[in-house]
């Protein structure tokens, strides 16, 4: 949420030149709102605030974070990374060695669709956003037919056909017939 004291008829880009670039970089994974405030509102004008995506009410307010914003910078990479660092996600981190057994347990025995990511460095914001999307998540936990796993440093020799250039990757393994 970006708070500004600009008048309603003034384009917010006069104050933060790259706001549209930032919004495009988020790719609809995070809602960005511009809130026009006055001194009487006692809200942080000129600041970009992040509120926890899985919280409501007072818990959301308590979890607010001020993101470091350089309004003159055209590079929004660091700002997107800040959002990724504070974005709440629900997934199980696993190792490359456990990928195949977990897929078989989840997809065959438990009859769940498994959505996974493999990456190096920071977990993709797109995957984090996917883990809490209302299609898969009811606000407290995932629906019964889906699970999310993440492998931070995949051993590519164990992942037939996967190359370094393909990372980060997000994929899905659908439920497998129990007699497979």
User: pLDDT per residue over 111-131, tens digit each?
Assistant: 999 999 999 999 999 999 999
Pick the CATH number of 92-173 from 3.40.50.300, 3.40.30.10, 2.30.30.30, 3.40.50.2300: 3.40.30.10
Q: What SS3 state is found at 59?
A: helix
Residue 47's pLDDT is 86
Residue from 16, 140, 144 nearest 70 by CA: 16
Residue 147's pLDDT is 92
Confirm if 180 and 108 have CB atoms less than 8 A apart. yes
Better-predicted residue by pLDDT, 144 or 118:
118
Residue 57's pLDDT is 86
Average pLDDT estimate for 52-61: 86
Residue from 148, 22, 2, 1 nearest 76 by CA: 22
> Per-residue confidence at 72, pLDDT binned at 50, 70, 90?
confident
In terms of Cβ atoms closer than 10 Å to its own Cβ (0-12, 13-18, 19+), residue 131 is buried
- CATH 3.40.30.10 domain locations along the chain: 92-173
Q: Residue 139: is its pLDDT beyond 70? A: no
CA distance 102 to 16: 46
């Amino acid at each position: 949420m970006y708070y500004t004291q600009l008048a309603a008829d003034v384009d917010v880009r006069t104050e933060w030149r790259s706001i549209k670039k930032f919004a495009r970089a988020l790719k609809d994974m995070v809602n960005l709102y511009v809130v026009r405030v006055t001194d009487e509102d006692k809200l942080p004008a000129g600041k970009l605030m992040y509120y926890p995506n899985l919280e409501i009410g007072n818990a959301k307010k308590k979890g607010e974070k001020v993101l470091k914003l350089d309004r003159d910078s055209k590079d929004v990479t660091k700002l997107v990374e800040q959002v990724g660092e504070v974005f709440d996600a629900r997934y199980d981190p696993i190792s490359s060695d456990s990928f195949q057994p977990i897929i078989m347990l989840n997809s065959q025995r438990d009859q769940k669709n498994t959505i996974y990511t493999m990456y190096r460095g920071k977990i993709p914001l797109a995957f984090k956003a996917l883990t809490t999307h209302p299609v898969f998540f009811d606000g407290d936990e995932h629906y019964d037919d889906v699970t999310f796993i993440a492998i931070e440093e995949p051993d590519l020799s164990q992942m037939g056909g996967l190359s370094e250039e393909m990372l980060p990757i997000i994929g899905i393994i659908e439920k497998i017939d129990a007699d497979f």
